[in-house]
């Protein structure tokens, strides 16, 4: 302990990395910072922000030591000091956590989860192209929804995407009215309805009456069948609905611009409600056969507010049949 004492003294004389008014900042910097880093960011010891422990647990670890951490006496750090340090770290934790999103204060279900029941819609141009793109005839321009606007295609896959783009008017599976896959179904320019029960979150989409039944009962992915829409299993991480989807058939695209994946696609969606009317939607895409690393898309979901709104039909199968029989529905009679 003698050498540690020496370090404490040196530390105490060093200027604080950042001005800290909190009563716990001083004892933290004096005793803990050497190993746990400035503002609890971690160094030799683990990061302490966000702090996953309560004050009693921290007190016990401080007094008895844990793994590489030496025990620390009351003379160096009183019980009050420890409590102040915990309060200080918690204040840092809440600053960090609240930075990207406001905490949710909307309605909750009987089980205490955010109540997502209702009709939602993405307002973006991701359905046409998830990357930044200029307007074309019938296609609005958009800034894109891909983090860094960079889809990390493997070389062959970048070439394939360009070929897909060139033939998109016939090759896009959605133009043939095939199921749009995940996450494309979310940002098709149509509303969708979330039905939330204690065991599931069921998402029903106006486009082609697509359904996703997301089990939130802790059940695993089923037999290794493959599906157009994959198999979705969800769980709640605090107020975030996390949906893990695998078992894809590799025949769907991410958008109408030919961005694609294989059947080893793994999608993790995070639905974080930030108010009664907004959900922060973040999707991480992983596919080792197509991309060099995982990548992320992000966009808000907006609650549709029109009174009496209900999902209607976009039954594109019927449009295809009409084009084949060359007659409109009013001429169809008893088809």
Whose Cβ is closer to other proteins: residue 134's or residue 310's?
310
Query: Which residue in the set 227, 236, 277, 302 belongs to the binding site for other proteins (CB under 8 A)?
Result: 227
Whose Cβ is closer to other proteins: residue 43's or residue 313's?
313
For 123, phi then psi, to 5°, come to: -115, 85
Site membership for other proteins, residue 150 (CB under 8 A): no
Site membership for other proteins, residue 113 (CB under 8 A): no
Dist CA 79 CA 14 (whole Å): 24
Dist CA 246 CA 181 (whole Å): 11
Site membership for other proteins, residue 103 (CB under 8 A): no
Site membership for other proteins, residue 224 (CB under 8 A): no
What track of x and - describes contact with other proteins for positions 151 through 180 (by CB under 8 A)? ------------------xx----xxxxx-
DSSP 36-95: H-GGG--SSSPP-SS--S-HHHHHHHHHH-BTTBPP--TTTS-HHHHHHHHHHHHHHHHH
Question: Is 140:128 a contact under the CB 8 Å cutoff?
Answer: yes
| CB contact set of 327 (below 8 Å; sequence gap of 6+) | none
Site membership for other proteins, residue 214 (CB under 8 A): no
Whose Cβ is closer to other proteins: residue 135's or residue 317's?
317
Site membership for other proteins, residue 318 (CB under 8 A): yes
Positions in 264-303 near other proteins (CB under 8 A): none
Judged by CB under 8 A, the number of residues near other proteins is: 47
Dist CA 317 CA 335 (whole Å): 14
Query: Which residue in the set 26, 34, 228, 268 belongs to the binding site for other proteins (CB under 8 A)?
Result: 228
Site membership for other proteins, residue 4 (CB under 8 A): no
Whose Cβ is closer to other proteins: residue 229's or residue 290's?
229
Site membership for other proteins, residue 315 (CB under 8 A): yes
Query: Which residue in the set 48, 214, 229, 279 belongs to the binding site for other proteins (CB under 8 A)?
Result: 229
Query: Which residue in the set 193, 235, 266, 304 belongs to the binding site for other proteins (CB under 8 A)?
Result: 193
Site membership for other proteins, residue 221 (CB under 8 A): no
Range list of β-strands (E), 67-172:
118-122
DSSP 225-289: --BSS-EEEEEEETTEEEEEEE-B-S--BSSTT--B--TT-EEEEEEEE-SSSEEEEEEEEE-TT
Whose Cβ is closer to other proteins: residue 61's or residue 321's?
321
Strand pairing partners for 121?
302
Torsion of CA 270, 274, 279, 282, to 10 degrees: -30
Site membership for other proteins, residue 67 (CB under 8 A): no
Dist CA 124 CA 139 (whole Å): 11
| CB contact set of 74 (below 8 Å; sequence gap of 6+) | 63
- Which residue stretch of 42-50, 73-81, 226-234, 273-281 sits at the interface with other proteins (rule: CB under 8 A)? 226-234
Dist CA 223 CA 264 (whole Å): 15
Query: Which residue in the set 101, 213, 242, 268 belongs to the binding site for other proteins (CB under 8 A)?
Result: 213
Site membership for other proteins, residue 99 (CB under 8 A): no
Site membership for other proteins, residue 244 (CB under 8 A): no
Q: Under the rule (CB under 8 A), what is the footprint of other proteins? A: 110, 117, 169-170, 175-179, 193, 195-197, 200, 202, 204, 209-211, 213, 215, 222, 225, 227-229, 308, 310-313, 315, 317-325, 327, 329, 332-335
């Amino acid at each position: 302990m003698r050498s540690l004492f020496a370090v404490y003294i040196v530390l105490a004389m060093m200027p604080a990395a950042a001005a800290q008014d909190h009563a716990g900042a001083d004892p933290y910097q004096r005793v803990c910072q050497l190993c746990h880093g400035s503002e609890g960011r971690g160094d030799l010891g683990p990061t302490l922000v966000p702090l996953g422990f309560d004050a009693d647990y921290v007190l016990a670890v401080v007094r008895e030591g844990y793994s590489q951490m030496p025990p620390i006496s009351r003379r160096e750090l009183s019980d009050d000091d420890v409590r102040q340090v915990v309060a200080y770290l918690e204040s840092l934790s809440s600053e960090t956590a609240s930075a990207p999103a406001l905490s949710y204060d909307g309605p909750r279900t009987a089980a205490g989860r955010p109540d997502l029941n209702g009709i939602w819609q993405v307002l973006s141009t991701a359905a046409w192209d998830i990357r930044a793109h200029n307007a074309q005839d019938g296609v609005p321009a958009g800034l894109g929804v891909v983090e860094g606007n960079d889809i990390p295609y493997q070389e062959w896959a970048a070439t394939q995407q360009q070929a897909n783009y060139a033939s998109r008017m016939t090759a896009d599976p959605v133009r043939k009215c095939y199921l749009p896959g995940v996450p494309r179904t979310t940002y098709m320019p149509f509303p969708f309805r979330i039905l939330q029960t204690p065991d599931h979150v069921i998402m029903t989409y106006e486009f082609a009456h697509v359904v996703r039944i997301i089990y939130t009962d802790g059940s695993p992915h089923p037999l290794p069948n493959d599906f157009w829409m994959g198999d979705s299993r969800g769980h709640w991480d605090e107020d975030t609905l996390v949906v893990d989807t695998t078992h894809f058939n590799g025949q769907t695209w991410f958008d109408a611009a030919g961005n694609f994946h294989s059947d080893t696609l793994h999608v993790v969606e995070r639905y974080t409600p930030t108010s009664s009317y907004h959900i922060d939607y973040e999707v991480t895409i992983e596919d080792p056969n197509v991309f060099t690393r995982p990548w992320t898309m992000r966009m808000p979901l907006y609650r549709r507010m029109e009174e009496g709104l209900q999902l209607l039909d976009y039954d594109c199968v019927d449009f295809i049949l009409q084009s084949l029989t060359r007659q409109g529905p009013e001429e169809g009679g008893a088809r």
